[in-house]
Structure 1
Amino acid sequence: MDHHRNDSSRMKALLQSEDSKDDHERDREQSSTNGSSQATCSASSHSSLSPGLSRTRETEFGAWAEKVERQKEDVSSSSCSPLSALKKLPECQNSLGQLTFSMTHSVLIDVKIFNRGRSLSPQEGRDVWHSNFVKMPCSQLSLMTTKGAVFKTTNQKPRWDIIKKQLETLSKKSAATVKDVEDAILKYNPKYKGRWSFDALATFVERVHETENYFKPLFPKIAALAMDLPNSVKKAIPLLRRGQTASITLSQAQIACLLANAFFCTFPHRNTSDPKAEYHHYPSINFTSLFEKWSERKKEKLRAIMHYFHVMTDKEEKQDGLVTFERHVLRDADVPNWRSCKEKMSKLHVTSRGSIETEGTGMLQVDFAASRIGGGVLGSGLVQEEILFLMNPELIVARLFTEKLADNECLVITGSQQFSRYSGFGDTFEWAGPHKDNLPKDEWSRWQRQILAIDAVFFKDRRDQYNMLKVTRDLNKAYCGFKAHFPKEPDIATGKWGCGAFNGDPQLKAVIQLMVAAKVRRGLAFFTFHDEKLELELQQFYHLLVTEGTTVGKLYGLLEDFCAVQQASGGSCQVDLFDFIRNSLKPSRSNL
């Protein structure tokens, strides 16, 4: 790698002498690429040459580029694994046994009927209006104050009666306008009249091309789906609360019904983020923020969401799977002593091409989550987590019952279906059409897709991350998600976790995830999102770790040393983490 850096520096200087303006643009694009953790489009590290570059220098540059490619191939072949060498869910073949419920596993379908013939009938239950459960819009205890027309008296009646009346009226229409949707929603949310805006939804319906504009006939179908809630979900849904390991299994049809209610903003007590609000520590679930403040981002989000409802309300389509949401808590007694860990590096596949949600399908796919699950999916956010939730909208229902994740917690979602494809990222994000899932299903009729939501630490100042308390926190957070719960588990698909808006150092986050993967003895597929520089550096760094037989404990000690150096210098130390570890493992090498 040292020779590569010398060659790179020499060629950079040569190119600067030819066209400083083009170099400035290249450097700006490279900086932008390296600073984003999830960018799906970025400048190539082999940018086209300036028109004024001499043929001799062009030949020299080409030789250098070929040398870099050979280095990548040599390192990859000697240490890194091909993607095909990593395990996926279908290969694990763990026996799940019959689907059962327990004190920690709530199942919303009738398990006896399911285990006999796999029919997905809702589990009978009772109405529960309690702080430990989702307060449902169809609960008879959800009351609404109404005024008498003649005597100006006030009465309380079940809110669902008003909701049902509005949904029923809409469902009977052959087509409904956004104004119809707005009027219905405000009938049972009257205090938000004049405060909620539906401009994004209205503009969306107006601007989408007529060949794709099926939305007016779709609104009544979504209303009918929402109205079926009392028949679809009969058992109280427990909250996945902080500090409690627990799981919930629902059918895809039940999730669609719940999301239809989120679309029509029926969930009570979920319309404010006030610190004193009952659900302050939960993400929003009603779609009000998605319907307001028009932007091109909202347009593409709504295209994905509406396609999901288009599929789920199509009588010819049959989504008969289950989805499980598991909250895991890492107990103090289970936290590793990282300093004494003797495990060596597991398999690694690293690439600048492909993505977690495509090439990583079948592995444990890491969601670069916010502590409130789904982040800004119902707002303007469009980074990795939000895109993942738009392609797999069933994930959004986790926002209904998942409390904000603590530092020692994660959420694992098994069985969600991918409905859409996409291109771009952030402002360049576009819905790219339907996706047909061809994954196999497991014994519990769940698509063999497993998603792990873990939230990294946000750093306002990047220098703050070089602190062992923060490093250990992220090690434990990743360990909570990566640790196995079955004899055979799939390997892990991840990337620059927490390195975009959260300002994490990609090298540091890569080392943390390598350490945890080694500890739990699972392979790692690391997608750098078109960052070819990190791809090469990580390949070479991993090759060194394998060659030297470096243990997790040794790396932890080197992280302590690196953080101490950074703190002693006030963050002004210019050496990067990979170089620091390389020089520590091979003291005889030059500082280059």
Structure 2
Amino acid sequence: MVVKSVPELFAVLHSSKCLLLCSTEQKNKYNHGEDTTSENSSELNMSFESGQKKSSQDAMKDNESAESTRKRKEQDDAKQDPKCDMDSKDTILTNVVDSNDTTGQTKPSNGEKASEPSSPDAKLSKLTCMATEMTNLSPQLNASETCSTDVEMVSPHSPTSKESPRNLGENASACPDSESKTPIPNPDDDTKDISEVTEMETDDVEQNSTAVTEESNCNQTSSSASGQVDEQKETKWLGTPIEELRRRSQFGQSLPHLRATDNHKVLIRTDLLKAGELPIPYPLHKFRDSWDDMTVKMPCSEKNLFPVESEDGSGLQSRWELISSALKGGLKSSLDIRDAILSYNTAHAKRWDFTALNVLCTEGLENCEVQFLFNNILPAMVELTVKMPEICTQPIPLLKMGMNQSLTMSQKQIACLLANAFFCTFPRRNSRKSEYSNYPEINFYRLFEGSFPRKIEKLKTLLCYFRRVTTSMPTGLVTFMRQGLSNFPKWESSNTQLTRLHITCEGTIEDQGYEMLQVDFANRMVGGGVTGLGLVQEEIRFLINPELIISRLFTEALEHNECLIITGTEQYSKYSGYAESYRWKENHTDETPRDEWQRRRTEIVALDALKYMHFMEQFQPEKMTRDLNKAYCGFVRHGVDPQNLSAVATGNWGCGAFGGDTRLKALLQLMAAAEAGRDVAYFTFGDEELMRDVHDLHTFLKDRHVTVGTLYCLLKQYSNVLCKTALRPDVSLYGFLYEQVSSDPDPEPNMGPSDSHSEPSTSPANCL
């Protein structure tokens, strides 16, 4: 039976109430040893009129009919269930878990509110359950005992059913035990109290009024919850909307024609550069050899010799010939790779360990992946390696200390150089005592060492890159520019106002900061531990954009007044995690547009922070000045209109293992960016408190028109306060700034002279 009207529903409920009272009284008399058969019949006749008894009997018959209908429906559903083809395996698993949940609520995997069962049979089965198991119910109508969630489910505005329809199987006619039912919620939780239930049973008008009131309350609650969700979403970022910050593709300024100059080396034919076509090396098919201290010593150089035994006990052989023959001999296992590499690195045969490479091939990859690696990727990498004399045809200049010089090469040339790094072919680069001791490592031998899980994930990420470039070679260019400054702003006398700030606790520099100037929290040896154990911000960026790694081949360690700017690298991988939790996820297709030089509009600046052994050390005036100068060096572009400068995408620079204070570093970067004429997009990497603190201070300072010079003087004043404590300051930096600006919004810059050159100034306020 389907309940078609409210009166019919009340008749059924009234019948249930009648039987409930009868059954309870019968049970009480039985417990006292009385014969209750005739007495119960008499009490029943006295309690209700004959019309009411007839209504009760009709209701019971209707309930039995409804039960029969419901059972037939469930049998039909049971027959259909095995044939049901679900689109998503996750959906099936979710339903299985929910069907065993005692609360019985269906929880959608997408987090949406569960919907109320649409079939009336599920609701009627609750009513049948009430009528057939009276001994579990109390004759008194009170909220804690009688007004069960089953009765409430009859109301169209009541909460979602606590019993999942999937639980109503072969024992659907039997009520669940009272212990398994969820208690009725407190009236304060927007559910009906006992007076509302009573009114519903006795007065249709009151019932409708109650329903309207409940619906209104529900809507208000939903609206309030929606507002809270919106507020939470809004607090994920503060300040200027990121869409309003400038990006590279928004500039109308075009680049001049690409050409080689005295301080810009270009390794391709610029006159033949075309979009979508592989750049032509320059010179073509003619390798220019060089073996000096101004260029990279190439593996294919004729001066790269290898000692061999001869009849007279000594002899030299071309190392390049040995490399080519060893790699072309065929690589069928990780042991073959090891033997090939050691054959031309015999001096390191007893030290180099290839455990990580072996673990990758035996445990880290599926069998089909291993087969593809040895049948496809490695042979293509070998071919790319041995073609170095045809691909990289002129000497590669070293970007040495104190030199403002740029180098532009093709992505294919970079792929060739990285393949050589993988097979450890670069000479004089395997010892810290060599002539390249002030350069980062480039050969990958340390990447193959040990069985650390992070090494396996690193290798997966790099092999994803090699698979991509050996399958379809990218056609763009990449520029590496070493920039050093000899003159810096006089920070204490700067009248520059802070620029706009977007700050967020979500997102990443590489994703949300696309086409901005993206900061690499670098080591002075660029790339840090990317070929070793390191796996934090810089190493991760070098892994997902492997073309950055080749900068280690020719970039000498950075000085305090220098930075490295890389334009045009491509992202090849997606990842998750950080440090030990880092995992390679999947291939990534970079859709960043290219500029006129066929470079991706991805500009990354490597800024090395200082490492602090003691917390207070970083507040010394010369240390703060150093970081200001370093950031300014990376942000400034002399001769470029600030309107043609993209925003800086940065974050907690030097605040991890280097011990930097996040609030100080954020403020220093804001000051440097303002002086360079750039807005800032700041990523706190999940730190919501830092997001609010930096935003609030930035707003406070901008509203009061506090200049960069004033801030610099206040930082020096704070250094004086800090020197009075041994370990930690008594006053927080931001608290000090709030107090000083509020009491004296324009302090005099009388903290001592500032040197405009690269050497930071000394001051009476320092802590040395």
TM-score between the two structures when normalised by the length of structure 1: 0.84
CA–CA distance in structure 2, aligned partners of residues 225 and 415 of structure 1? 21
Q: Which residue of 1 aligns with 2:249?
A: 90
Say which of 354, 373, 376 aligns to 1:215.
373
CA–CA distance in structure 2, aligned partners of residues 153 and 412 of structure 1? 49
CA–CA distance in structure 1, aligned partners of residues 508 and 248 of structure 2? 17
Secondary structure of 1:358's aligned partner: helix
- Unmatched tracts of structure 1, length 5 or more: 1-54
Q: Which residue of 2 aligns with 1:168?
A: 328
* Structure 1 contact 181–219 (Cα < 8 Å) conserved: no
CA–CA distance in structure 1, aligned partners of residues 713 and 251 of structure 2? 34
Paired AA for residue 159 in structure 1: R
Q: Deviations over 1:488-511 (max 9, x none)?
A: 121110000000011000000001
1:560 counterpart = 2:716 = yes
Q: Which residue of 2 aligns with 1:459?
A: 612
Q: 1:282 to 1:338 in 2, by over 3 A?
A: same
Q: Which residue of 2 aligns with 1:153?
A: 313
Paired AA for residue 702 in structure 2: V
Q: Which residue of 1 aligns with 2:597?
A: 444
Say which of 268, 286, 299 aligns to 1:137.
299
Q: Which residue of 1 aligns with 2:436?
A: 279
CA–CA distance in structure 2, aligned partners of residues 112 and 142 of structure 1? 33
Say which of 652, 668, 692 aligns to 1:496.
652
Q: Which residue of 2 aligns with 1:338?
A: 491
Q: 1:388 to 1:330 in 2, by over 3 A?
A: same
Paired AA for residue 318 in structure 2: P
Q: 1:369 to 1:94 in 2, by over 3 A?
A: same
CA–CA distance in structure 2, aligned partners of residues 541 and 391 of structure 1? 34
Paired AA for residue 313 in structure 1: T
- What is the CA distance between 1:75 and its match in structure 2? 12
Say which of 337, 341, 346 aligns to 1:185.
341
Q: 1:228 to 1:69 in 2, by over 3 A?
A: same
Q: Which residue of 2 aligns with 1:225?
A: 384
- What is the CA distance between 1:573 and its match in structure 2? 2.2
- What is the CA distance between 1:118 and its match in structure 2? 6.2
- What is the CA distance between 1:211 and its match in structure 2? 5.0
Pairs within 5 Å for 1:262-411: 262-274=421-433, 277-314=434-471, 317-331=472-486, 334-411=487-564
Paired AA for residue 452 in structure 2: S
- What is the CA distance between 1:209 and its match in structure 2? 2.6
Secondary structure of 1:144's aligned partner: strand
* Structure 2 contact 237–506 (Cα < 8 Å) conserved: no
- What is the CA distance between 1:96 and its match in structure 2? 1.3
CA–CA distance in structure 2, aligned partners of residues 98 and 414 of structure 1? 16
Q: 1:76 to 1:188 in 2, by over 3 A?
A: closer
CA–CA distance in structure 2, aligned partners of residues 196 and 463 of structure 1? 41
Q: Which residue of 1 aligns with 2:685?
A: 529
Larger RCO of the pair (alpha carbons < 8 Å, separation 6+): 1
CA–CA distance in structure 2, aligned partners of residues 324 and 81 of structure 1? 31
Paired AA for residue 296 in structure 2: V
- What is the CA distance between 1:438 and its match in structure 2? 0.8
Say which of 413, 416, 424 aligns to 1:257.
416
* Structure 1 contact 346–524 (Cα < 8 Å) conserved: yes
Paired AA for residue 579 in structure 2: G
Say which of 567, 583, 592 aligns to 1:430.
583
* Structure 2 contact 499–678 (Cα < 8 Å) conserved: yes
Say which of 566, 570, 574 aligns to 2:726.
570
Q: Deviations over 1:398-417 (max 9, x none)?
A: 00000000000000000000
1:514 counterpart = 2:667 = no
CA–CA distance in structure 2, aligned partners of residues 119 and 397 of structure 1? 19
Paired AA for residue 484 in structure 2: V
CA–CA distance in structure 1, aligned partners of residues 665 and 395 of structure 2? 39
* Structure 1 contact 413–450 (Cα < 8 Å) conserved: yes
Say which of 737, 741, 745 aligns to 1:581.
737
- What is the CA distance between 1:158 and its match in structure 2? 1.6
- What is the CA distance between 1:110 and its match in structure 2? 1.6
- What is the CA distance between 1:539 and its match in structure 2? 1.2
Q: Deviations over 1:332-373 (max 9, x none)?
A: xx2100001101110100000001011011100000000000
Q: Deviations over 1:160-199 (max 9, x none)?
A: 11111112223xxxx6211111111111111111211111
- Unmatched tracts of structure 2, length 5 or more: 1-185, 191-223, 746-768
Aligned sequence identity (%): 42
Q: 1:139 to 1:323 in 2, by over 3 A?
A: same
Q: Which residue of 1 aligns with 2:755?
A: none
Secondary structure of 2:574's aligned partner: strand
Q: 1:244 to 1:198 in 2, by over 3 A?
A: same
* Structure 1 contact 414–450 (Cα < 8 Å) conserved: yes
Q: Deviations over 1:59-117 (max 9, x none)?
A: 9xxx9xx999969969977xx20000111111123321211001100011122322799
* Structure 2 contact 237–504 (Cα < 8 Å) conserved: no
Paired AA for residue 328 in structure 1: Q
Paired AA for residue 301 in structure 1: K
